[in-house]
Structure 1
Amino acid sequence: MGIVGCGNISAQYLRTLTSADETSVVAVADLDADKAAHAAATYGARAFSVDEIFGVDEIEWILNLTTPAAHEDVSLAAIGQGLSVYNEKPLCATVAAAQRVLEAAHAAGVAVGSAPDTVLGTGLQTARATLASGAIGRPVFATATMAVPGHELWHPAPDFYYAPGGGPLLDMGPYYLTALVTLLGPVAAVYGAASRTRDERIISSGPRKGERIGVAVDSHITAICEHASGALTTLIMSFDAAASQAARIEVHGEEGSMAVPDPNEFHGAVQVHSVGGTWEMVTPSAGYTGAGRGLGLIDIARSADRRTGRASAELGFHVLDVMSSILRSADDGQRRMVSSTCTVPDPVPLTELSYARTGGAGQRA
C-alpha cells in the first residue's frame, strides 16, 4: 500500500502496518515533503509527491490519512488510477462527497474501506459477544459521552477540527457511532441540538503555541438516535468540557447494564451489572488482540478476496449519514430520518495477531 498524509496519526498506522505479515507499506506522500521523507526513512518506505504516489506500480491500496476535507479528492485520484482506498474517519466530509467516491469505486471495480477499526479490538468485540449472550437481556437504551476541552490543548495544528468537516461529532463521533451500530444495529432516525461556546481557540502546544484560530463549526452536539432495533441512544459529543467522569458508553437492557470501554481504543474492560447485583468484569472473549490503527486493512488483507473487510465503506457511509442527519436536525429543529442503513459486520472471534506475540505493533514476530 501507499500512504497519503504523514501527519499526527500516521505514525500509529505505520507502526502497525509495517509490523504485520499481511501488509507492506511501499510508499508515502505528503504535501510537506520533509514529513514524507522522515516517514519513509523511519519505516523503510519510499517518499513521493502526492501526485506521484498514485502511479507507483507495486501499490494496490491507498491509505488516505489526509484531513476530512481532502478525503474526496485523494480518494478519487487513487480510484482514477485503479487503486482501492481506505480512508481515515470520517469516510468523507459530506454525504454527497462519500457518494461520489463510492460511485467512482463501483464504476472502476475497486474497493473502499473506512476507519475507525477500533471496534475490531477485544474491548468492543467482547462487549458485542456479551450482549449477544443475553447477559443484560434485550437492549433498551444506551448513553455515549465524549466531553473534552478541545484538541487545541495537544494538537500542534488543530485548525481542521474547527473548520467545516470538523467539530466533535465528525471528529470523534465515528468511534462512538460505529460502536453503537455494531452493538445495537443501524440508526433509523435522529434528533439533534448543537451550540458553539466561543468563536476562537488558542493553540497550547507546538511551534504555533499561543496562536488564535477561528471556530466555524458547533463545538457541542447532543443527539437522540433511534435504532431500527427499537433501542434509543443519547449521544453527547463536546469540545466544551473541562473534564468528564461519565462512562464512555453504557448499554442498559431489561435484565442488566453493561459498561463498554472507550471506543477510541482497541482494548479495555467490559463490565456487567445485573439487576440487584454488582459490577463484574468480563473476561475478553472476542476481537483481535494486540491491535493498533491499521487493523482494518489487516482485516481486509485476511479476507478471502483481499477486498472486503469489517471496516467497510457501507458501515462508514451509514455512520457519516447518521452524523449528517444529526447536524441537519440541530440546524432546523426537526426529527430526521436516516436514509441509509447497513449490515452489521461479522463478529471477530478471539484472534491473536502475529506481531502481538512480540509485544505489539512496531515489532515484527
Structure 2
Amino acid sequence: MARQWNVGVLGCGNIFDAYARLSAVFAPVKLVACADLNGEAAAAKAARYGLEALAPDALIAHPGIDAIINLTNPASHAATTAAILRAGKHAYGEKPLALTLADGDALVALADSRGLMLASAPDTFLGGAQQTARRLIDEGRLGTVKSGSAHFMNHGMERWHPNPHPYYQRGAGPVLDMGPYYVSALVNLLGPVRRVVALATTFFDERLVTADGPNRGSRVPVTTPTTSQALLEFRSGAQIHFSVSYDNWGHGHRNPIELHGTLGSLMVPDPNYFAGVAELHGDGEVQRFGSEGVAFGQDNWIEVKGTRIGNYRGAGVADMLDAAEHGRPPRASGRFARHVLEVLLAIIESAEVGRFVEIASTTDRPAPMTAEDAARLIAPDAPQTFAPDA
C-alpha cells in the first residue's frame, strides 16, 4: 500500500479547486492545509474542503506537512518554491518552474542539496493519451521521426479568465503560459531540444476583459508578444514547427500535434488534457488508439457546459511522492522542467535577437507510466467521475 503524505497547497486561486477535488484520485496525496496572501480566500477553500487555513509562512513552516503544491502566480514561483525546499519539504509547482534559467538552476541545486523532490507541472504527459503516443513511438511504429508541427491558437484569456492581466505581461504570454504543455509533451515523445529559432508579434496593444468578475470591462495593456512561430530542432534530428497565439479568431489545425516519421505519421491528442485518441497513418491505412483503457486516460471530468474531458491534474504530485518513497526521479522532475523552461525562454530570446539559440541543457525522457506504476498512484476508492463544480 502506498504511503500517504500530508500535503499543503500554497495559493487559492483559479486552479485550486481542480487540485483539491482531484486529490481524491491519488493514493499518496492527503491534502491537510492551504494558504494564500488573501486570508479570506484561504479560509473559504479550507471550509469547503475540510482543510486547515494558514498564512503562507505558517504553511511553509508547518512541521506536519511533508510536501507543498505551489499554485502562486508565475512571478512568485521561484521564491516560494525555494522557501518550501529550504523548509525541508518536497515541492511541486505549477508551470513554469521559474521565469529565468538562473532561478531554475538554483531550485534544482537546492532540491539536490537538501535531498528533496522537486517537480513541476504540466503533468498531462502522464495521461493515457500522451502515454499511448509515447508507446507507439517507442515501438518504432513511426520509424525515425523527422518533422512535425504543434499548434495552440485561440483569442486570448480575457473572454473567460476573471483575472487575465498577468497573462499579457512580460514573463507570461502564450509561450510561457501554454508552451509548457506542448514542449513537455514533445520532449517526452522525442527527447531533448538542441536549438530553436523564432519570430513573434503582437496584434493588439490592449485587451478588453469580457469575462465575468471584478475585472469585467477593464482594459489590459499588452507588454509581451502574443503570437509566436518557432522551429525546434531536437537532438534526435526531428524538426518541429511550434506556433502559439492569443490572437486567432479561428483556425483549421485539426491536430494539436503531428509527428511524421519514415514509417508513419502520428496525430497526437491535445497535450492540455489527459485523454484522447491518437491516430497512426501509414501506407494507406489509419489506426485509432483511444486512451480509455490506459491509466489516467478516461474522460472523467464533466465541465459546466457538459463537455467530458480527461482531467487528472495532480498525477505529477502523486508521482513525485511515489518517487520519494521509492528513491527514483519523478517523471515531471525539476530537471525535466528546467530543460523545458530553457527551450521556452530560447523561443522568446530568438524572436528578440533574430537568430538561432542553442539549448545548453539536456534531459532524459521520463520513464513511461506503466500500469503497475499507475496502480500505486490510484486510491482504492478513487472517484470515477467528477460532475460540474457547484
| TM-score calculated relative to the size of structure 2 | 0.88
- Give, as a single letter, the amino acid of the residue that structure 2 aligns with 1:235: F
| Match in the other structure for 1:174 | 180
Are 1:138 and 2:144 counterparts?
yes
Structural mapping, 1:1-365, within 5 Å: 1-205=7-211, 206-246=213-253, 247-277=255-285, 279-284=286-291, 286-290=294-298, 292-303=312-323, 304-305=325-326, 308-350=329-371, 351=374, 353-354=378-379, 358-360=383-385
Structure 1's 355 and 209: CA in aligned 2 closer, same or farther, altered over 3 A?
Answer: farther
- 1:323 Cα deviation from its structure 2 partner: 0.7
Equivalent pairs, count: 361
More deviation, 101-110/50-59: 101-110
Question: C-alpha distance in 1, partners of 2:215/2:328?
Answer: 41
> Which amino acid is 1:310 matched to?
R
Distance 1:113 1:184 in 2: 20
| 1:190 and 1:337 in contact (8 A); partners too | yes
Conserved? CA contact 1:18–1:25, under 8 Å: no
Query: Following TM superposition, by how much is the alpha carbon of 1:326 offset from its aligned partner in structure 2, in angstroms?
Result: 1.1
Contact 1:292 1:361 in 2 (8 A): no
TM-score (norm 1): 0.94
Read off the aligned partner of 1:359 and give its amino acid letter. Answer: Q
Tell me which amino acid in the other structure corresponds to 1:224: L
- The whole-number CA distance in structure 1 between the counterparts of 2:365 and 2:123 is 13
CA contact (8 A) 2:275 2:296 kept: no
**Counterpart residue number, 2:303:** none
**Range with bigger deviation, 160-169 or 116-125:** 160-169
| 1: CA distance, partners of 2:194 / 2:335 | 15
CA apart distance, 1:306: 6.3
Question: Distance in 2 between the 1:286 and 1:91 partners?
Answer: 28
Contact 2:26 2:382 in 1 (8 A): no
Alignment RMSD, CA only? 1.8
> How big is each residue's C-alpha offset from its partner over 1:306-341, in whole Å with a ceiling of 9 and x where there is no partner?
673111111100000001111111101011110111
Runs of 4+ displaced beyond 6 Å:
none
Give identity over the alignment, percent: 37
What 5-or-longer segments of structure 2 have no aligned partner?
1-6, 299-310
User: Structure 1 residues 281 and 20, CA, compared in 2 at 3 Å: closer, same or farther?
Assistant: same
Q: Distance in 1 between matches of 2:384 and 2:115?
A: 38
The separation in 1 between residues aligned to 2:256 and 2:34, in whole angstroms, is 34
Amino acid at match of 2:196: V
**What do the CA deviations read for 1:119-154 (whole angstroms, capped 9, x no partner)?**
001000000101122222211111000001001110
Opposite residue 12 of structure 2, the aligned amino acid is C
- Name the CA distance, whole Å, in 2 between partners of 1:107 and 1:22: 24
In the alignment, is the contact (CA less than 8 A) between 2:118 and 2:334 conserved in 1?
A: yes
C-alpha change, 1:9 and 1:357, in structure 2 (3 Å) is closer
